[in-house]
């Protein structure tokens, strides 16, 4: 089984903020297979099980706040006995232009508190990363305000197109790739 973790903050007030682009992607994947979310309180996560190309995939949205995401990821990896090579973390990234992405193994947190939490909680976990660009704010807005700023339905729709046309094929490629 593969684990795809969308990073974000739980709650209605964060739902349409840039910081929740990881949640948006796993929501898109669950919706595309008409799968419902299940609240796993003991693991501090919402989960949904899907199949992509015959591969079992556990989607998750940690129900901790971003800076405590590592607790939920640790609980899921341990409970489902998921190999670290089978973990993909999806995050927002201000260092990438809006609606672009990078898919790669490992790397430093670069100030992303969700990634910092996962790396602190699971220091030996060499996981795949999918960084989705949200761009930087124009001055004088602070980065923290930018990531928590709500987006328009049109902007969110543009991300759905990115997920469907560009990111989903990359996830399928990762799922099909033999582990080394």
Q: Kindly give the interhelix angle for 113-121 and 69-80, rounded to the nearest 10 degrees.
A: 40
Looking at residue 168, what is its pLDDT? 96
| Span 20-47, pLDDT tens digits | 999 999 999 999 999 999 999 999 999 9
Confidence at 125, pLDDT banded by 50, 70, 90: confident
Per-residue pLDDT at 85: 86
Residue 58 burial class via C-beta count within 10 angstroms: exposed 0-12, middle 13-18, buried 19 and up: buried
Closest CA to 131 of 157, 161, 98: 98
| Catalytic residue chosen out of the listed positions 19, 43, 112, 131 | 19
Catalytic residue check, 113: no
Domain 2-20+31-60+69-100+113-166 classification at class level: alpha beta
Residue 43: closest CA among 74, 84, 9, 83: 74
C-alpha to C-alpha distances, 80 to 58, 73, 77, 178, nearest whole angstrom: 9, 11, 6, 20
Nearest to 18 by CA among 132, 104, 178: 132
Name the least confident of 57-61, 124-128, 161-165. Answer: 124-128
Q: Note the pLDDT of residue 177.
A: 83
User: Which band of pLDDT confidence, cut at 50, 70 and 90, is reported for residue 180?
Assistant: low
Express as a percent the part of the chain with pLDDT over 70: 99
Encoding tokens for residue 155? Answer: 């902007």
Average pLDDT along the chain: 94
Q: Please give the Cα distance from 33 to 51 (Å, whole number).
A: 8
Q: Rounded mean pLDDT of 54-72?
A: 96
Q: Which two tokens stand for residue 110?
A: 């670069």
The stretch 2-7 carries a mean pLDDT of: 98
Edge-to-edge strand order for the sheet containing 55-62? Answer: 38-40, 45-52, 55-62, 2-6, 87-93, 128-133, 101-105
In the chain, where are the structural domains located? 2-20+31-60+69-100+113-166
Identify whether the C-beta of residue 35 lies closer than 8 Å to the C-beta of residue 48: yes
Q: How far is Cα 1 from Cα 28, in angstroms, rounded to an integer?
A: 19
Q: Which pLDDT belongs to residue 115?
A: 95
């Amino acid at each position: 089984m593969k684990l795809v973790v969308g990073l974000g903050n739980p709650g209605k007030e964060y739902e349409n903020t840039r910081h929740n682009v990881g949640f948006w992607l796993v929501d898109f994947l669950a919706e595309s297979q008409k799968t419902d979310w299940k609240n796993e309180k003991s693991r501090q996560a919402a989960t949904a099980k899907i199949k992509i190309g015959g591969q079992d995939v556990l989607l998750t949205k940690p129900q901790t706040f971003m800076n405590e995401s590592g607790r939920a990821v640790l609980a899921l990896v341990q409970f489902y006995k998921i190999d670290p090579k089978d973990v993909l973390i999806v995050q927002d990234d201000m260092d990438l232009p809006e609606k672009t992405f990078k898919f790669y193994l490992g790397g430093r947190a670069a100030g992303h508190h969700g990634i910092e939490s996962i790396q602190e909680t699971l220091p030996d976990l060499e996981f795949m990363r999918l960084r989705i660009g949200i761009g930087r704010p124009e001055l004088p807005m602070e980065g923290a305000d930018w990531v928590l700023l709500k987006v328009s339905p049109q902007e969110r729709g543009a991300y759905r197109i990115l997920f469907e046309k560009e990111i989903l094929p990359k996830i399928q490629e990762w799922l099909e790739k033999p582990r080394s």
